[in-house]
Every structure is written in structure tokens, then in C-alpha cells.
Amino acid sequence: MTELLITSILILVKLILVFAAVLGLAAYMVLAERKVLGRMQLRYGPNRVGPFGLMQPMADVIKLLTKEDLVPAKADRIMFLIAPGMASLIALLSFAVVPFSPPITLFGRTIPMVVCDLNIGLLYFLGLSSLAVYSIALGGWASNSKYALLGAIRGLAQLISYELSMGLAVVPVVLTAKSFSLTEIVVSQADWPNMLRHPLAFVIFMISVMAESKRTPFDLPEGENEIVAGYHTEYSGMRFGLFFVGEYINVIILGSMVTVLFLGGWHGPLLPPIVWFSLKVLAVAFCFIWTRGTLPRLRYDQLMHFGWKFLIPVALTNVLITGAVMLAVGP
Amino acid sequence: MNLWRDIKGTLQAYAVTFSYLFRKPTTIQYPEERRTPAPRYRARMVLTRDPDGGERCVACHLCSAACPVDCISMQAAEAPDGRRYAAWFRINFARCIFCGLCAEACPTLAIQMSPEYEICKRDPLSLVYEKEDLLIGDGGKDNDYNFYRHAGIGVVNPRGGNADEYGPVDPGALVP
Ligand code: SF4
Ligand code: SF4
């Protein structure tokens, strides 16, 4: 009985910590993105609210909260109101399986530093990232607006296409670790990270992840110079904010996924594991921002061609070759 | 091969954006830092005076005729010595597009563009400048010019008394 109680309390504490860390990080990710993008374009970015603009996220939240919450006429009201919440919620849920540090021992108990160490953690993550399609589809459909619908259709096609290459890119990782548990996958990278072992899979995974996060060069669902703001055209106030925060939580979770699957998770010399983990996540996030500052948006047919005619065949070949090599070399 | 060229082209762009990260931004942080506009900058107009301190404007209405948005209005008047002047002169800067056509049209160099660009106001009516607000103490860009010393109107010197002035033409001499 007490055992169960202590475990539940521990999970609750971890949950709150992760929740706070991820939300705080997401808020400052917005600021970091605006600053870094600004510097890349020889501007300063936000620097008025607080020292170096550090209070900007608070100002943004206040602005979003006090804005009017509009529901378009003839919109599917319930769906319209639920969709943005789903966007953030699904992104947050994925964090449950991410191990950010090796288990620590506290008062004689071994505490795994992951909210819930599922043995099929990887599948859980892939499943949730497919579920993220729903928030776009429902939001776009329920808005009763042509731009939102167009954005939603684009988003659907894009996410489903790139899900495939993403799933195929993690197969070599699973083959190496012989497990779907993310903790096991990190442990299997103790000597060298999967990035060096499977460089091709890493590149494919990075590209797919960028497409999954719906950011430039794959931001067709929002393509602001063609379809206003895509699936969230009709949203205002904090509901728009939820979509927005969802995007940045997504960046963090996808960054953690890249870290866990390819960059060796918490492994690293000298510094404590949690620091290594954070550094790697931030580095991946920086790559996302860097890409946004560098590449223009693809055309829709280019996106589809690139996904179906290039990425997926290459990923498939990669799986075959990796499998063959591992079979030949032995376990 | 094309693929190689594409990959190279993509990666080079990354190098460019990364190097820009370490360059000083070109932004001018406005309220703290201010750009000094060039002397010929086209911002709000002023009414200038001739070297003797008199108002240059002769209320000829050329500027208000030239103005594409019709934001200059005035009332002409004449002093006892024959000097024309504007009884009142008004520019609505809420409408002005700072095109400079008024300054080009002015025969007396009275109306000139100045580099003073900070004229944002909350109340549009306070952007209507009267003659007193527009007049400045000197001749602006051309300090030495005095219209009445070239015009052949006996205001500064008697008629025909100016240096570059021809005497009155005898109409009879024009008859063939
Ligand atoms: S600058 Fe142009 S718009 Fe302004 S008063 Fe002169 S002519 Fe009119
Ligand atoms: S400012 Fe110049 S153009 Fe306008 S009325 Fe006066 S003299 Fe004429």
C-alpha cells in the first residue's frame, strides 16, 4: 500500500517538474527563436520588455489572455474549442516517455528519471505524433473557413507522408538497441551515439522531424503568404496561443526525441547527465531555428515528391542494408 | 551531379545565416539612438525669411496648386508698400505626403523642406500648422536670396533700381 502511494507521489512530482520545465522552456523558446532569427537577419529581436527582452513571454501571455476569444459563425463550436487544447496536450503527453537522466538513488530507492518508462515508448511517441494530426484536421475543419480547411488538408497530407519516413528512420535504432523502450535505446548508445552508427537514418529523421513540427521549410499548413495562417486562421487570443505553444512544445519534444534516439541521450563526459541532455535538446532546437532562418518554404508538390519519391525509398533501402549488415556481422 | 550541387547550395546558406549571427545588427534603436538625416531630407516644411528678415512668401498659391493632396491653404494680403504676404498660411501635416512639390513650385524659395521628421502627434488637429509654427528665423537652404531684389517690383528698391534689372521697355519700340 505505502509502496504504491510513494510511487504515485513520485510520479506526480516528476510530472509537475516536467510540466513546469517544458512549459517554461516553450515560453522562452519563443523568445529565443525571435532573438536568434532577428540576429540572423541583422535585427535585434524583442529587447524592450525587461532586461534583454526577457519578460517578453509574460507580455505575450497577458496579451493573448486579454484578447477576445472569437468563434466564427457556423463553426462547429465544440470541435473548434477543443482543437487547440489537443494540439498542446498531445505534444505534452509525448514527454511522459522521454528519459532525461539515468535512474538516481534517493533514500535507498531507485527512481527512474522518466515519468513512465514504457517498454514500447517509441511506439507510444510515434502514435502520439500521428494523433497530433487530429488537432490540425479538427481545427481546420471546424473553423468553417476555406483557408483553414486548405491548411488542414495540407497539414494532414504532410504529417502522414513524413510519419512514414520518420518511422522507417528509427528502425535501425531499434535494431541496434533490440528494444522499443527509450531508456534501453539510450543505454545502448553508451559507447557511441547512433548518429555516427546510422548517419543516413539520422539525416532522414532530422528532415522528417522538421516536417512533423510544421516549421519552415515545411510550414505549408500555415503558409502565410498563400492561405493567411492555415489551420489556425480563425483562432484568436489564447486559443491561438495554445496552437502556438503546442508548436514550441513540439519542437522541444522532437528535439528530445532526436537526442534520445540519435545523440546518445544523457551520455557525455564531465558534466552531469541532465545537463548533457538539456544541452543536446537545446542544440537540436537551435538547428530548428537556424533552419527557419535559412531555408525558404517548399512548394506543395516539391514537399510531396521529396517525401514519397526520395525520403521514403532512401529510408527503406537504409533499413534493408542496416538489417543485412547486422545479420552478417552478428549480434 | 545535380544532387551534389543542391546539397552544397543548401549547406552554404546555413553558413551564411550562421555568420550573420555574429554581425552587428543594423537596427537603429530609435528613441535612444537617432539617425541624423541629410540636410536635403524631405520632412516637414518651413517658411523661410529673406536676408533682411522679411517673410519670403508672396502668397502666390503656387504651392497649394502644386500640392497633390491639397493640404496647403492661405489667404493673400498686400502691405501698403506693395509687398504681398499671406494673412494666414496653413499646412495640414496629417495629409501631407512629403513629396516636395510645393518646395519645387515656390518662386521665392519661401517654402522649404526641413529634416525635422519627428512630428507624430496623438491628435490629428495638432498636426495643422499655422504660419507662426512654420516661420523660421533665417533663409534655410539659400540664405542670400531675396525675391524682391530680382522681381522688378518696387518694394526693396524703386522699380528698375536693382542690379540685374533691365529698365522698362518702351512699347513703341516694339512696333514694326
Ligand atoms: S510636400 Fe507635397 S503633399 Fe506636402 S504640402 Fe508639399 S506638395 Fe503638398
Ligand atoms: S510658399 Fe511660395 S509658392 Fe507658396 S504661396 Fe508662398 S511664395 Fe507662393
Domain count, chain A: 1
Ligand 2 close to Cβ of residue B61 (< 6 A): yes
Q: How much is the pLDDT for B101? A: 93
Residues of chain A contacting residue B24, judged by C-beta atoms under 8 Å apart: 42
CA-to-CA distance for B159 and B167, rounded, in angstroms? 8
Q: In this complex, how many residue pairs, one in chain A and one in chain B, have their CB atoms less than 8 Å apart?
A: 33
Looking at B84-156, list the stretches that DSSP marks H as alpha helix, in order from N- to C-terminal side.
Answer: 101-105, 131-134
Residue A12 lies in a domain: no
Residue A78 lies in a domain: yes
Sequence spans of domains, chain B: 45-141
Average pLDDT over residues B67-74: 92
Q: How much is the pLDDT for A59? A: 87
pLDDT, tens only, B139-158: 888 888 888 888 777 777 77
Q: How much is the pLDDT for A331? A: 58
Residue A217 lies in a domain: yes
Q: How much is the pLDDT for B102? A: 92
Pick the CATH number of B45-141 from 2.60.120.260, 3.65.10.10, 3.30.70.3270, 3.90.245.10: 3.30.70.3270
Which residue among B18, B25, B27 sits closest to A290, beta carbon to beta carbon?
B18
CA-to-CA distance for A34 and A32, rounded, in angstroms? 5
**Residue A303, domain extent:** 71-329
ipTM: 0.73
Q: How much is the pLDDT for B79? A: 86
In the reported structure, the alpha carbon of residue B94 is separated from the centroid of ligand 1 by a whole-number distance in angstroms of 11
In the reported structure, the alpha carbon of residue B164 is separated from the centroid of ligand 2 by a whole-number distance in angstroms of 23
Residue A90 lies in a domain: yes
Whether the per-residue pLDDT at B1 is higher than 70: the answer is no
Poorest-confidence range of A130-139, B120-129, B153-162? B153-162
Q: Does B20 touch chain A (CB under 8 A)?
A: yes
**CB–CB contact B21 A40 (8 Å):** yes
Please count the other Cβ atoms lying within 10 Å of the Cβ belonging to residue B66: 16
Interface of A with B (CB under 8 A): 36, 38-44, 290-291, 293-295
Residue B122: how many CA atoms within 13 Å on its side-chain side?
Answer: 0
pLDDT higher at B174 or B62: B62
Q: Is residue A1 very low, low, confident or very high in pLDDT (cuts 50, 70, 90)?
A: low
Residues flanking ligand 1, CB < 6 Å: B 66-69, 71-72, 91, 96-102
pLDDT, tens only, A218-276: 888 787 788 887 788 888 888 888 888 888 888 888 888 888 888 877 777 777 778 88
CA-to-CA distance for A82 and A75, rounded, in angstroms? 12
The answer to whether the beta carbons of residues A175 and A266 sit under 8 Å apart is: no
Mean pLDDT, all residues of chain B:
86
Angle at CA of residue B165, ends B163 and B172, nearest 5°: 145
Average pLDDT over residues B86-90: 91
Average pLDDT over residues A69-97: 82
Q: How much is the pLDDT for B75? A: 92
pLDDT, tens only, A15-61: 888 888 888 888 888 888 888 888 888 888 888 887 887 888 888 88
Average pLDDT over residues A97-105: 77
Average pLDDT over residues A175-193: 82
Mean pLDDT, all residues of chain A:
83
